[in-house]
Structures are given as C-alpha cells and as structure tokens.
Structure 1
Amino acid sequence: MADPWQECMDYCMEVTKQAGSMIREALQKDIVVMQKSSPVDLVTETDQRVEELIISSIKAMYPTHSFIGEESVAAGAPSILTDSPTWIIDPVDGTTNFVHRFPFVSVSIGFTVKKVIEFGIVYSAIEDKLYSARKGKGAFCNDVPIKVSGQEDITQSLVLTEMSFREDPEHFNIMMDNMKAVLNIPVHGIRTTGSAAVMMCFVASGAADAYYHIGIHCWDMAGGAAIVTEAGGVIIDISGGPFDLMSGRLIIASSQAVAERLANEITEFPCERDDTEVINDDPDQ
C-alpha cells in the first residue's frame, strides 16, 4: 500500500531547504530585531518571512490542510491541534541565536494526522544538516541513518536543557534547582544550544543522551519528536507520564531508564499549554 503522506514529506524537504537558504542569506545582512512579550522575547523579519514562505508554499500544494505556526500564533491565530492533516512550524528555532549569529538556528516542521506525528524535518541551516524521519521508516541526517546512543546509565550521560528568563521568581528558582539536581546525580554535564529542535536531533544522533524542557512549544518539538522516536529514543512527559505534544514540557532520552531517572529528579512548575487562548513564548526559542 502506498504511503499517503510521503509526497507531503518530499515536498516539505524542498520547502525546508528554501527556508534554510533564506536564513543563511539573511545572516549576511543587518538583522532587524523586534520585541514580543518581553525584552528577551525576540522576533525578526526573517522569522516572519520564512514562516510566510513555508505556509504559502504548502498551502498552494495542499489547500485543505491546517497550520500551526509560531509567528501566526503570536499574531493571534489559534493553536488547536485537530484530526485534520496539520503542519506545525517553527520558521526560525533559535531566534536569539540568529540575532547573535550563534550557529544553531533551525527550521522545524512536524506533520500530524489525527493528532499523530507522521513525519518531522529539522534543518540546522548554518550547519547545513537536514534531519528527517517518517513514521516507521527510521531517522536520518543528510540521508545517513542516525540512532540514539542507547545509554542506560544516567551517570554516564550528557544532558541537554534550556536556560531562559522567567518572570516568576519561583519558577526561575525551580529551573535552576533542577539543573543542580541533575548535575548532582551526577551526570557527565549539562549543555545547551538555544535551539530545542537541534538539541532533540543531538539526542537522536547520539551526540547527547537526554534533553528536558519545561515551557517549550509544539512548534519547537513536533519535528524533533518524530526524529527522536524513529532514532530509537524515548519521549515522556516531565511527570513521567505519556508525551503530550501540546503540554509545553518533555523529557527525551536514549533509553527508558535515563528518561525515568530524569523524571524522578525534576521538579515541575506550571507552564501554558499550546491549545489554550494565551500563548507565552519561551524567550530562548
């Protein structure tokens, strides 16, 4: 039986490459920076132009499909995941990196049908690394198969996370305490790149063993979730329960044992779901 969504994925790969080229070209020019919800919550003309390119290109080919895009949601569009074929788009994952020309900036696209992620694509544009995964068909980087490290010992693990501004001092303190708790397990270390999608791909390719984040968005993780899963990784909620794409939180790991140990160490704090009326952007994404 033919794969009904492979054509969508093949088309998306080409659009993603165009978006990456737009990002690289923009880095050669002056970057116009605007502020969204706070002085560290940034958006650029490139974020908006890249999302417009992606959505207009895909709409022209698939006019009945639905879209959830970071900049569209910021402008007031709904962020509701339905059973309809849906493209979940982060045009520039790592906007702060882009502004500073820090070399981890990605285009992230996930595609869902009946709320199930069918494929994901993450293009680390400056590195020129195109990660992709189709459900049931494995994960790849520049067409070379990738897989997680398989590490099951948390004390032998390199862990990734995101450090970001929190207006609520209690939430900020919990975020910092979580890092202390993880380091005191002990683990080999904690790293961050400023692009959630890239960090998920690092775990998928075995360059790191785990990643956790509270306050992430569906457009940050939809593409990476497909890639991690197809690379043999584990994705769970911060609580240790099932992964929920719209929840704003996740743990991914090279093994169930590492994922569960992180869930036991991390203290939760509230974050907005993506399928609510108000979306508060994570300033580092």
Structure 2
Amino acid sequence: MCEVNNLDECYKVAEELVLYAGKIIEDGIDTKKNVKSKGIDWDLVTEYDRKIENKLIKQLSARFPSHKFIGEETAAKEGRLPQLTDDPTWIIDPIDGTTNFVHRFPQTCISLALWVNKEAEIGIIYNPLMRQFFSARKHCGAFLNGKPIKTSDVRDVSQSLVAMEPWIAKNPEYLTSIYSRMHALIQGTHGIRSLGTAALTLCYVAMGAVEAYHIESIDAWDVAAGKLIIEEAGGVVIDTAGGELDIMTPRVIAACNQQIAQQLVDLFKEADSEIVNKNFN
C-alpha cells in the first residue's frame, strides 16, 4: 500500500511504468494504426491508447491493490466518469495527443498523476518522441529530465505567448467563445500557439516556453498531472471564471503567475460580454 508517507515507492513505480509506456509510443509512431472515433470525429483512440492504459492499471494494481483509477479509455468503455474520492487515485491519460500520434506529429505524451485526499501528490508527463520527461512531487519542485524548471517571469499579458486549441470550435457549444477569445488573444498578446495536447502544453507553461494556456472541453486526465507540475514550477491553474479549478470538470486558465492568470480572466470576460451584447443588439 502506498500511503502518503511512502510516496517514494509510488513515484519510483510510476516513473518506471511511464518510461515503459513511452517505448510503446516510440514503437508505434510509424506503424499503421487501428483508429476509431469515440463518438466525435476529433476524439480518436487507437489500440495503443488501450494497451498503455491497461498496462498501467494492471501493474499499478498489482503493486498497490487498494488504489483507485480514473483512466480515459476505461471511462470511455464504461460510459461514465468515476468520482474522485479521498482514496489514493491514479489518473491516467495513456496518450494525450492521440490525433498527433495518428498523424505522426511528435507532440504526444503519457500523463500519470497520483491524487490523495483530492490533492495531487505526483505528476509525470512524458513525450518519448522528444525525450521530454516532466515530473513533480508536491512541495518538491518541478523538473524536466531531472533538471529544475520554473515558469516565465512575464507579468503583462501583452508581452505573453499564449497557447490555445482552436480546433475545439468544432464543438458548437464552444464555437463562439473560442473565436472571440482567440481574437482577443491575437490582438492583445505576442501570439498564439497550439500543440494539440493539453498535458504537454501545461508542461510548456511550467518550463517557461509559453506564459499561459487556455482550454475547455477537456477531462480530469488531461490536467491532473500538469496542474501539479505548473504549480511546483511557480505557476497557477484556475477556472476560466477566476475561481478554483474543478479537476473533474476542468475549464482551464494555466499561467506563469497570478497576474497573467487574472489578466486572462478579465480579457475573456470582456470578450464573452461583447458576444452577449452583439446578440441582444
């Protein structure tokens, strides 16, 4: 059993398993894949997603039989999202950036987090194709390939590079807000970047490559590890409206510091209100 006071063992096992899963991605990147859609045309899954998640759950269950799991492919198969309890819970995204993986675009990763008492204790995100191994433990700092990382020290959103996922506008529910917020970012920042993987982009905030990241229409496994990595690197992850993030229904503003986060909250509120005003006029 991995108790809170025995996280060293949990981390060691998690690291070994994620590195092993990375080899599966490396071996599979250039192969022909069995690609299916999980109901919507941009939410893809391959046999590699299932293989990695099954492997992680099987091995972690063998080592820590009392632990619980929240996994992307398991949730899809069961048709429901498990509740997050105080019990030690591994939150797994076997391949974040599956569409990238299918197209052989090298921004794809494994995300694994351990949450205890509804707080993140371990976060690991690994892009085997770029040899980027991001890790964090609560109160111990954040690392890339074993070297400490920290967020950008930029304090003005106008001097920021911000990441976003415009393709989410394919979902009619988000179409208007995506375009209005994207327009606001184009006008008010140094630029926008899009990687097609939430977990890895959160790490890019943590390492200071971008100042912020905004995304909605995602799930716990997209954010569970990255949230800890950003916070341990000196950044913040909050709800789009400015409050505390609900990890089970995440609407994300991740930023290098609270100042940038609040400026984005204000920017998006203004962009959203302009839409409302246009609709009523």
Same fold (TM over 0.5): yes
- The 1:257–1:89 alpha-carbon spacing in structure 2 relative to 1, beyond 3 Å, is same
Q: What residue is the counterpart of 1:148 in the other structure?
A: 151
Q: Which one-letter code corresponds to 1:107 in the other structure?
A: I
- CA shift at 1:4, angstroms? 2.0
**Aligned 8 A contact 2:239 2:250 in 1:** no
* TM-score between both structures, scaled by the size of structure 1: 0.90
Aligned match for 1:27, one of 23, 26, 29: 29
Q: What residue is the counterpart of 1:176 in the other structure?
A: 179
**Aligned 8 A contact 2:168 2:217 in 1:** no
| 1:14 partnered with 2:47 | no
Matched residue SS, 1:87: strand
* Greater displacement, 73-82 / 213-222: 73-82
Q: What residue is the counterpart of 1:85 in the other structure?
A: 88
Matched residue SS, 2:254: strand
Q: What residue is the counterpart of 2:277 in the other structure?
A: none
Output aligned runs, 1:255-270, within 5 Å. Answer: 255-267=257-269
- CA shift at 1:228, angstroms? 0.3
* TM-score between both structures, scaled by the size of structure 2: 0.91
| CA–CA separation in structure 1 for the residues paired with 2:244 and 2:198 | 19
Output aligned runs, 1:121-160, within 5 Å. Answer: 121-160=124-163
Aligned match for 1:199, one of 198, 201, 212: 201
Q: What residue is the counterpart of 2:113 in the other structure?
A: 110
Q: Which one-letter code corresponds to 1:152 in the other structure?
A: R
* Unmatched segments (≥5 aa) in structure 1: 270-285
| CA-to-aligned-CA distance 1:182-221 (integer Å, 9 cap, x gap) | 222x200000101111100001001110001111211001
- CA shift at 1:167, angstroms? 5.8
Matched residue SS, 2:136: strand
Q: What residue is the counterpart of 2:248 in the other structure?
A: 246
- The 1:122–1:168 alpha-carbon spacing in structure 2 relative to 1, beyond 3 Å, is closer
Which structure exhibits the higher relative contact order, with contacts defined as CA atoms closer than 8 Å and separated by 6 or more residues?
A: 1
| CA–CA separation in structure 2 for the residues paired with 1:168 and 1:50 | 28
Matched residue SS, 2:167: coil
- CA shift at 1:164, angstroms? 2.5
Q: What residue is the counterpart of 1:99 in the other structure?
A: 102
Q: Aligned Cα RMSD in Å?
A: 1.6
| CA–CA separation in structure 1 for the residues paired with 2:171 and 2:55 | 36
- CA shift at 1:168, angstroms? 5.2
Percent identity reads: 42
| CA–CA separation in structure 1 for the residues paired with 2:214 and 2:173 | 19
Greater helix share, structure number: 2
| CA–CA separation in structure 2 for the residues paired with 1:168 and 1:100 | 21
Structure of larger gyration radius: 2
Q: Which one-letter code corresponds to 1:12 in the other structure?
A: A
How many residue pairs get matched? 267
Q: What residue is the counterpart of 2:214 in the other structure?
A: 212
| CA–CA separation in structure 2 for the residues paired with 1:82 and 1:119 | 16
Q: What residue is the counterpart of 1:38 in the other structure?
A: 40
- CA shift at 1:166, angstroms? 4.6
Q: Which one-letter code corresponds to 2:32 in the other structure?
A: D
- The 1:207–1:48 alpha-carbon spacing in structure 2 relative to 1, beyond 3 Å, is same
| CA–CA separation in structure 2 for the residues paired with 1:7 and 1:229 | 22
**Aligned 8 A contact 2:216 2:251 in 1:** yes
**Aligned 8 A contact 2:206 2:234 in 1:** yes
* Unmatched segments (≥5 aa) in structure 2: 273-281
Aligned match for 2:77, one of 67, 75, 78: 75
| CA–CA separation in structure 2 for the residues paired with 1:48 and 1:15 | 15
| CA–CA separation in structure 1 for the residues paired with 2:168 and 2:208 | 28
| CA–CA separation in structure 2 for the residues paired with 1:170 and 1:145 | 39
